[in-house]
Structure 1
């Protein structure tokens, strides 16, 4: 096999992973036209079409899927070998793909990006936001980030955030002309902005501590979403009460844009964890990312 064949096969695998010539070209540091030309020549050499191309998407053909299945182990070993050499020089590199809960990304990953970049400029984190549980191995991710109670089984878990508390919040404009909220049962008289658990097909029940016991309340939602930033924006607009992590809204509480109700009933929320498959040999880039995120946990 010629050297250019290996390079073109790796390019093909990245295009199939990204489902986009544009994104693949960025990862490879090539122009889109150069990448397209390389794949066309590869297909000519192999005598078969590997990718179906439309104006909106790129996907492997049946032949391309069969080739990918054969290539994946070998290309993975090549990538790990290159990264291992880089680590020996003190420079782990490569793309680390992480599937994460949206709020976890904002609270625990984004604040550490600068530190990661300064320590390991050759590492790129590729985040995919998904608030349900996914099979990170089947979907090609290196790791996942979820809150404690959502951890997948048979995974190694590393805590990257401390335990936080929940908060029911609303804008002053909403609370001004609404019934007083003195206990969780009073929420049933209010407009609530609720988290929709897409994977379970139902809304999230709001949890509280009352007389030392956990209390679960199924509120009356006037709006549902599965993105905390949307729920927070809705609360800021005066549309109702939102049930969020206090860390998510602390700046708005300090500024007075939001007011917390029922603070004495607030329940602890489990810490955030990064989890990954139990493998004997971990990619150097993955280890570096874990170390940076773990160091952020006080």
Structure 2
């Protein structure tokens, strides 16, 4: 019987690793850093900022201050904005006199004072993401959802429904887009080709988040919507890995959701992956990619890690 996971390529200690994706990707980033990997952070917190405040503003959560990137179309959209100058049809959302970046509304709790501040911070973010694309050796991306909210006019997609964190829902302006297999495969292939223009040596590891949907904007039950979404994402990831020699697939989804005896992977909410399940996932990864220098002080604190940010839980509020 073949091993559950066999690496497709070697990650060297000096390789610059970037992480992005849905909520589960936050676990991966923490474990890689603690194990001594060179995980990139192009937008660190400013000096003197309290660590809890920095984390609430999502500094250090990913390799840039993206917020959660739940679907590949978000990732492609960001790359086109950074590398091709694409202008999203909508960038600023307002709520109670405060202003938010519609493409990453959770990164500034409480919002900004003005639309101009939003745009200035976004320009800085895009410059940082360009540096990320230009310097990353291994890009790890966790696919999370197929359901997206898009702007009808130009197809701009948002990480959360308008009217949850900020903005106002208008059915004439926004529509639900449930991305299919072909679209996901095409979007990632386009993203890969685009970023390799500025970083030809970049390689990719894909994972699928095991975290089930909190709610669905479709007419399905949340259980069937979750099954559909994860099946589509897993199939798309497999096809991308099959087509591309520089793309590896790591089976975190299978490890967490499999029916191993005693595999009680989720906490009481049914959506929070227990720390011991995350450790089981990363054991398989490190068996193929052994870290060169672990940092014991960080490893010891992993069990107490950080709140995980998941905007998709807000769909429950939106559905109501």
Q: Identify the TM-score tier after normalising by the shorter chain.
A: under 0.3
Say which structure is richer in helix.
1
Q: TM-score, normalised by structure 1?
A: 0.24
Name the TM-score, length of structure 2 as normaliser.
0.23
Larger Rg: 1
Which structure dedicates a bigger proportion of its chain to strand?
1
